[in-house]
Amino acid sequence: MTQNKTYEAFVEAYNNFDSHPLSGETLKKFYVDDFTREFVNNIITTIKISKYYKKLLIIGHRGCGKSTILNKVAEELEKEFFIVIFSAADVLNMMDVSTIDILLMTYIQVLKSMKKEAISRFITPFEKMMDFIKQKLRIEEVGINFLNTISLKLMVESDTRSAIRDGLRTQIEILQRNLSQACRDIYHQIKKDILIVIDDLDKLETKFAEQIFFKDSHLLTLPETKIIFTFPLDTYYNELFIRFKDKYDCQFIPLVNLYDFNGEYQEDSLSKLKKLVFERIDEKLVSATALRNIINKSGGLLRDLIKSMQDACKIAIGNKSNKIDDKIVEQVVSEQVNEYYRLFDFSKYEKKAKKIMEIRENKADEKIDNETLMYFLRYLFVLEYRHQNKLWYDVHPYLRETFRS
């Protein structure tokens, strides 16, 4: 390639490695089935065979590909189901969220997905139910504009959130009935069951996740329709989960295993991750050793692999390099290791992290306490792996590097 074409190729690759979940055109262009098909099929099967109002939790590390998998599920089910899919992070304030907020926004998203002529049937009772808020907040809009205004205020105004919660706390059954009725109405009009997919709830702070999925599980499971929620991995380890797990079905999304339980390197996993990379960049632009290194340092976490490749493209552009080589990867890794230096509490957790490394290296049966493990998993300091009925933990490769310095 000429220098100009190489530059253009790296710029294109840089944008191809955008960290947003694949959807729409990017899903068609970059999606790799190799390590996700089993989970897509499992989710689809669960949704299809459930006669009742199944509530399904999708569990896994942040960045393991849950959102892309759900977008793929939605794509494959769109002919059989009326699908309402949205990100909680786009419509809720994730630093202050309640179960009432989630149910209200779900209802609003369902209404907004309906045809205009169908919405009118539900807007009127919805507005009546919210009259006290309209008066208190002096909202004069009607119809869709009213829904949009409430959505915006719920997200950005703490006073509005408090007012809505106070008003709906005694009317939660009305809200649930309206939501269920809207879903039934969609079915009667188009003869399709409705499937609601709520993404990014796995990003909830622990205190909110526990309140919503455990203490308020009776509210979350009320709507008479099938709903998929993403769920925080660290909350999965909470001892309370065993008391509430029967209310949900669960699908765990594991990381890509670069090593098996016995420590044997998985060349097949390496090949699959190379395929993912080469969907987004010309393989001539990356040296074999550099790519292997950057994949290994990701620990099999897709988000880290995608982010590291994007960083490598940016460095290559800045250096006017013809290829991502070992030196560029060393720079990328160094930056990521520095992030762990800044974030990790060495005085409090270094011994426990090293203990996990020791357990892993010796294949021992020793356990780490759940409180520490939940902390490690939440912030990706430690990664959970599953393979052939084996479950184990290992320190993230970037954190390992800090212990060697």
> In degrees, to the nearest 5, what angle opens at C-alpha 76 toward C-alphas 70 and 80?
115
Tens-place pLDDT, residues 288-298: 999 999 999 99
CA distance 301 to 256: 7
Q: State the pLDDT at residue 124.
A: 55
Strands (E), 118-201: 193-199
Quick one: 345 exposed, middle or buried, by C-beta within 10 A (0-12, 13-18, 19+)? exposed
CA distance 165 to 282: 52
Beta bridge partners of 184: none
Residue range 36-252 in CATH 1.10.150:
no
Sketch the domain layout of the chain as residue ranges.
1-19+257-405, 36-252
Mean predicted confidence (pLDDT) in 108-130: 66
Q: Name the average pLDDT for the chain.
A: 90
pTM: 0.92
Question: Which residue would you say has higher pLDDT here, 296 or 137?
Answer: 296
pLDDT band at 310 (very low <50, low <70, confident <90, very high): very high
Q: State the pLDDT at residue 230.
A: 97
> Residue 378 carries which side chain, given as an amino acid letter?
R
- The residues, any chain, with a CB within 8 Å of residue 314's CB and separated by 6 or more, are 14
Q: State the pLDDT at residue 202.
A: 96
Note whether 54 and 183 are within 8 A (CB).
no
With a cut of 70, say whether residue 129 has pLDDT above it. Answer: no
Q: What is the number of residues in the chain? A: 405
Determine the angle formed by the axes of helices 66-77 and 37-49, rounding to 10 degrees: 50
- The residues, any chain, with a CB within 8 Å of residue 367's CB and separated by 6 or more, are none
- The residues, any chain, with a CB within 8 Å of residue 71's CB and separated by 6 or more, are 21, 22, 23, 27, 85
CA dihedral 251, 253, 254, 256 (to 10 degrees): 150
Number of other residues whose CB lies within 10 A of the CB of residue 9: 19
